[in-house]
């Protein structure tokens, strides 16, 4: 590309580049909330068995990290999300491509998928337990279901929306089905696919909670429900924060890939 | 343009449908409607093998539509349109290449990749000879040094030349060009016109060129078809019996230009 983005500094040379540190502003409100949280517990607005001090959460999880217990939970949850996303994205790509490309496939499958996409994640859990037992496959497949829909929906509409002008180019130059797909359709639909994958990864985190809350003896979701059984709000809040952290991390990862692949 | 000629030699002569005494293009009583709009109304046109025909006419008279029918992009029309005796709807358009009125480049692919889209299916894109051919074509259209630029970074005239190079890469038996030089400056336009004539002579391509430029039509063509519209009809067909190589300033060409102008009713 001939045009490269250029940053222009506004203001004189004397000022430090304020724009670069703008993101720090986003930390102000969360930090204030933590302070308020801490104060409200010490002052006694909340009972400690309902809401522990922020520091309690940190020490509890630090202790679990040192003892090694925490890593097992994190590892198994990440593994489930990862496998589920791989399967869900792969199946989503296959069906999204088929339905985006072939009118008949779309007529056959799209109404079904469209009506299934709104089934809440928890509703699937009993069925998957019944079919696949309480082992890993039930959880991974449940997460795959979650990851599938955004990928399928975005890719399918992305492919169906590829510019007619470019498809005519492919037709006139006799590219053939495969080359047309490889050189025109998939690159054109790539941004939609990446949007779908981002959504799919997000939903995978939702579904992993559903799976682990109900049927697991390990994982962050299990920690959540265990915290409730043991009346340990510090564990519950810590697990929630852990989900937030991992969810954001994976989202940043996909966003980074998106930025690199879509270079226009 | 020796660079263009040397690559082909053996392979493509047998690709070319062999129909010596058959007309390359036959259009009979062609009528094309878009809903209420009648784009073409009873158009007749015959182009013989290796002939260079230009189509001129006012905006909206159906010039692009005619090329779209011939290139097989329009499924529905009345009348007959055949290439080498085969209906364009039954695969007759396979040997037809078209340079669209708009560049229509792949925005995510660089100039080389865009030109390579035109390579015929039987050419292996990874073959070094194919790469050389692409480079030669890019040089011919005057874009050396821009091989790895994306279309977004090109001017309108540059994008149009990439599109032209893609059409030439296809090396079809019948080449349709829809105002391929419209965005070029005068000097570049002359260069590319002569380049097209070189290709036409070397490859014995049958060419139908749509243009608004009367001077261009007279200079390049064996025959000029004047469409009037709308709906688009053939108003007049003018033979350009002027020996080649021609000069833009030839007296005979000036006379032809006047006839085209008269037929257009300008
Ligand atoms: N896809 C379409 N849908 C509806 N009408 C169309 C379509 N394509 C062309 N037309 C109409 O058909 C007529 C001929 O259009 P066409 O593009 O062939 O004109 P043209 O001679 O190429 O014009 P220009 O010189 O401006 O390129 C116009 O009236 C146009 O509005
Ligand atoms: Mg046109």
pLDDT, tens digit, for every residue of B55-98? 999 999 999 999 999 999 999 999 999 999 999 999 888 889 99
> What was the ipTM of the complex prediction?
0.88
Measuring CA to CA, which residue among B84, B94, B77, B92 is closest to residue B29? B77
Q: Determine the pLDDT at residue A15.
A: 60
CB atoms within 10 A of CB B133: 23
The SS3 of residue B243 is: coil
Residues of B in contact with A183 (CB under 8 A): 106, 109, 117
Task: For residue B73, give the ligand nearest its CA.
Answer: 1
CB atoms within 10 A of CB A213: 16
The SS3 of residue A119 is: coil
- CA quadruple A108, A109, A115, A119: dihedral, nearest 10: 150
Q: Determine the pLDDT at residue A125.
A: 85
Inter-chain residue contact B117 with A165, CB threshold 8 Å: no
pLDDT of residue B2 exceeding 50, the answer is: no
Residues of B in contact with A165 (CB under 8 A): 100, 102, 104
Residues in contact with B244: Cβ distance below 8 Å, sequence separation at least 6, in sequence order = B197
By CA distance, what is B172's nearest residue in A? A173
Label residue B224 by pLDDT band (50, 70, 90). Answer: very high
CA distance A176 to chain B (A): 8
Q: Determine the pLDDT at residue A16.
A: 64
Domain ranges of chain B: 23-104+174-264
Tell me the Cα Rg of chain A. Answer: 23
Check pocket membership of B214 for ligand 1, CB cut-off 6 A: no
In terms of DSSP bridges, do strands B174-178 and B37-47 run parallel, antiparallel, or are they unpaired?
unpaired
Q: Determine the pLDDT at residue A13.
A: 55
d(CA B59, CA B7): 38
Residue A84 buriedness (CB in 10 A; 0-12 / 13-18 / 19+)? buried
Residue A109 buriedness (CB in 10 A; 0-12 / 13-18 / 19+)? middle
Inter-chain residue contact B106 with A1, CB threshold 8 Å: no
Residues of A in contact with B73 (CB under 8 A): 168, 171-172
* Strands of B96-99's sheet in order across: B96-99, B174-178, B206-210, B52-56, B223-228, B233-239
Residues of B in contact with A162 (CB under 8 A): none
Measuring CA to CA, which residue among A78, A90, A92 is closest to residue A208? A78
Helices then strands, each counted (H, E), chain A: 11, 0
- Please say whether the beta carbons of B177 and B99 come within 8 A: yes
Q: Determine the pLDDT at residue B20.
A: 39
Label residue B4 by pLDDT band (50, 70, 90). Answer: very low
Among 3.40.47.10, 3.40.50.720, 3.40.50.300, 3.40.50.10490, name the CATH number for the domain at B23-104+174-264: 3.40.50.300
Which chain residues have CB less than 5 Å from ligand 2, an ion? B 64, 101
| φ and ψ at residue B55, rounded to 5 degrees | -120, 120
Inter-chain residue contact B152 with A264, CB threshold 8 Å: yes
Q: Whose CA is nearest to atom 20 of ligand 1?
A: B60
Fold of the domain spanning A54-262: MetI-like fold (1.10.3720)
Inter-chain residue contact A175 with B121, CB threshold 8 Å: yes
Atom number in ligand 1 closest to CA B58: 25
| pTM given for the model | 0.81
User: pLDDT by residue (tens digit) across B131-185?
Assistant: 999 999 999 999 999 999 999 999 999 999 999 999 999 999 999 999 999 999 9
Which range is least confidently modeled, A3-7, B56-60, B110-114, B243-247?
A3-7
Domain ranges of chain A: 54-262
pLDDT of residue B231 exceeding 90, the answer is: no
Intervals of chain A under pLDDT 70: 1-16, 263-264
Q: Determine the pLDDT at residue B10.
A: 38
d(CA B174, CA B94): 9
Q: Determine the pLDDT at residue B30.
A: 96
Distances (CA, A) of A135 to A84, A124, A220, B93: 14, 15, 16, 58
* Strands of B78-83's sheet in order across: B37-47, B25-34, B78-83, B86-87
d(CA A199, CA A201): 6
Q: Determine the pLDDT at residue A6.
A: 52
d(CA A17, CA A87): 45
Quote the percentage of chain B above a pLDDT of 90: 82
d(CA A109, CA A100): 11
């Amino acid at each position: 590309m001939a045009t490269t983005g250029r940053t222009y500094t506004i203001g004189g040379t004397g000022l430090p580049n304020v724009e670069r540190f703008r993101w720090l502003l986003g930390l102000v409100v969360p930090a204030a909330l933590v302070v308020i949280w801490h104060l409200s517990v010490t002052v006694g607005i909340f009972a400690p068995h309902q809401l522990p001090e922020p520091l309690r959460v940190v020490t509890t999880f630090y202790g679990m990290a040192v003892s090694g217990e925490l890593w097992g939970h994190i590892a198994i949850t990440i593994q489930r999300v990862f496998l589920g996303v791989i399967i869900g994205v792969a199946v989503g790509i296959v069906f999204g491509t088929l339905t985006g490309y072939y009118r008949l496939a779309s007529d056959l499958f799209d109404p079904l998928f469209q009506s299934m996409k709104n089934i809440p994640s928890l509703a699937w859990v009993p069925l998957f337990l019944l079919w696949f037992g309480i082992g890993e496959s039930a959880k991974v497949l449940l997460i795959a279901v979650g990851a599938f829909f955004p990928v399928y929906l975005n890719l399918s509409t992305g492919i169906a929306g590829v510019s007619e002008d470019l498809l005519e180019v492919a037709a006139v130059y006799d590219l053939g089905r495969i080359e047309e797909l490889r050189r025109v359709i998939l690159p054109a639909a790539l941004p939609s696919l990446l949007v779908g994958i981002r959504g799919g990864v997000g939903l995978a985190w939702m579904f992993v909670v559903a799976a682990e809350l109900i049927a697991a003896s390990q994982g962050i979701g299990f920690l959540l429900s265990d915290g409730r059984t043991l009346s340990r709000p510090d564990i519950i809040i810590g697990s929630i924060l852990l989900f937030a952290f991992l969810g954001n991390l994976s989202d940043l990862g996909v966003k980074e890939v998106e930025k690199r692949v879509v270079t226009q | 343009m020796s660079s263009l000629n040397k690559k082909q030699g053996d392979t493509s002569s047998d690709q070319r449908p062999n129909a010596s005494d058959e007309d390359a293009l036959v259009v009979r009583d062609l009528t094309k409607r878009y809903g209420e709009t009648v784009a073409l109304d009873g158009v007749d046109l015959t182009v013989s093998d290796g002939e260079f025909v230009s189509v001129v006419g006012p905006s909206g008279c159906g010039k692009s539509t005619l090329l779209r029918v011939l290139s097989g992009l329009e499924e529905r029309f009345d009348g007959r349109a055949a290439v080498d005796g085969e209906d364009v709807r039954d695969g007759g358009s396979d040997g037809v290449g078209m340079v669209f009125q708009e560049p229509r480049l792949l925005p995510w692919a660089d100039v080389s990749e865009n030109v390579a889209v035109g390579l015929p299916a039987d050419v292996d894109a990874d073959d070094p000879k194919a790469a050389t051919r692409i480079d030669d074509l890019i040089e011919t259209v005057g874009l050396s040094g821009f091989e790895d630029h994306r279309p977004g970074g090109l001017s309108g005239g540059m994008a149009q030349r990439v599109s032209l190079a893609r059409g030439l890469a296809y090396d079809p038996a019948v080449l349709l060009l829809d105002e391929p030089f419209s965005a070029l400056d005068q000097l570049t336009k002359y260069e590319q016109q002569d380049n097209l004539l070189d290709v036409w002579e070397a490859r014995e391509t049958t060419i139908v060129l749509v243009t608004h430029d009367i001077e261009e039509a007279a200079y390049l063509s064996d025959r000029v078809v004047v469409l009037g519209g709308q709906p688009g009809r053939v108003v007049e067909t003018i033979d350009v019996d002027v020996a080649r190589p021609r000069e833009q300033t030839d007296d005979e060409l000036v006379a032809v230009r006047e006839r085209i102008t008269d037929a257009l009713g300008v």
